[in-house]
């Protein structure tokens, strides 16, 4: 019994460390695209005086007005949470997968359901950090003029509280975003990886995993982005100060669709795919190689 328990703790610790490492690498590489994505998502149609005309215009404007550090606004909350967040993501996926293996579900369905469970768990952990991150990313002042993440979090708690109208606002949209993303991300990756044979050549095998990981992140991003747009509207600044226009997930989607059209629900898709296509591949590869190395050496 003790040996089995030690084995579980060892494996879980390796999954946690590998998952945390994957998240940290991904966020450091891809955060500028997350800032650009958020800026597009909080725009409210052509009538918005601060709207960006294109992806290139957004990059140029941020660089000229806010400096290179403008692309790293709001990075501290995701760095602080990325290690535990991705650790939760991969650890819970592996544990849900193990639990579901005792059922009669087909293997492909197990990967998908385990992914959904890991996404919902991850969303609960990450949502307060997302509220702070989106609020900071929405600000267009220079990086040096911004309040610290901790000061901003304290301000939100002081003025709006810890609940669904304060530090946990947008929770339902975050649950939708992460649940749908992880369901497709893990489900597609592991199902397709099992279909396409492994290659003995390490370089080709690396490219095989990289390609499947890229497709996983890209497809998941395209499907879950309406939840992401709703989340950004709920957690970002409201159109009129003191008046909450975007409060719940599906009501926000309905409002955006009615006022701005169907494609408004896909705002920020290009920078999101640019981030989570390669970023999704990076995470899976770092996780798999780090986990294999830990299993072999510890």
pLDDT in tens, 263-287: 999 998 988 898 889 999 999 999 9
Token pair for 290: 């780090």
Q: Give the per-residue pLDDT at 78.
A: 76
Helix then strand then coil, in percent of the chain rounded to 5, is: 80, 0, 20
What does the mean pLDDT of the chain come to? 89
pLDDT in tens, 128-178: 988 988 888 777 766 666 777 788 888 889 988 988 888 999 999 999 999
| Number of residues in the chain | 298
Cα dihedral 123, 99, 295, 191, rounded to 10, equals -80
> What are the backbone dihedrals phi and psi of residue 54, each rounded to the nearest 5 degrees, phi first?
-160, 175
pLDDT in tens, 2-42: 677 788 889 999 999 999 999 888 888 888 888 888 888 88
Q: Is the pLDDT of residue 229 over 80?
A: yes
CB 208 within 8 A of CB 285: no
Q: Give the per-residue pLDDT at 48.
A: 67
Q: Is 47 or 235 the better-scoring residue by pLDDT? A: 235
Q: How confident is the model at residue 47 (pLDDT cuts 50, 70, 90)?
A: low
DSSP state of 168: T
| % residues pLDDT > 90 (the chain) | 56
């Amino acid at each position: 019994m003790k040996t089995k328990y030690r084995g579980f703790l060892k494996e879980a610790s390796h999954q946690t460390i590998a998952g945390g490492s994957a998240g940290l690498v991904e966020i450091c590489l891809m955060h500028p695209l997350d800032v650009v994505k958020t800026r597009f998502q909080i725009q409210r149609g052509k009538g918005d005086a601060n709207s960006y005309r294109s992806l290139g215009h957004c990059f140029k404007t941020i660089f000229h007005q806010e400096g290179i550090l403008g692309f790293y606004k709001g990075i501290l909350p995701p760095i602080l949470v990325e290690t535990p967040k991705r650790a939760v993501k991969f650890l819970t996926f592996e544990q849900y997968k193990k639990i579901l293996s005792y059922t009669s579900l087909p293997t492909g369905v197990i990967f998908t359901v385990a992914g959904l469970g890991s996404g919902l768990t991850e969303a609960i952990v990450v949502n307060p950090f997302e509220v702070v991150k989106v609020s900071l990313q929405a600000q267009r002042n220079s990086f040096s003029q911004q309040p610290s993440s901790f000061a901003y979090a304290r301000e939100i708690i002081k003025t709006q509280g810890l609940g669904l109208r304060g530090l946990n606002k947008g929770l339902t949209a975050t649950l939708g975003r992460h649940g749908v993303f992880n369901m497709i991300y893990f489900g597609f990756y592991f199902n397709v990886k099992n279909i396409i044979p492994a290659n003995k050549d390490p370089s080709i095998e690396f490219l095989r995993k990289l390609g499947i990981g890229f497709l996983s992140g890209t497809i998941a991003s395209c499907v879950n982005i309406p939840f992401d747009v709703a989340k950004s509207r709920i957690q970002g600044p409201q159109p009129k100060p003191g008046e909450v226009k975007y409060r719940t997930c599906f009501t926000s989607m309905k409002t955006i669709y009615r006022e701005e059209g169907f494609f408004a629900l896909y705002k920020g898709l290009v920078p999101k795919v640019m981030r989570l296509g390669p970023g999704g591949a990076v995470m899976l590869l770092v996780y798999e190689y780090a986990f294999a190395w830990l299993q072999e050496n510890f």
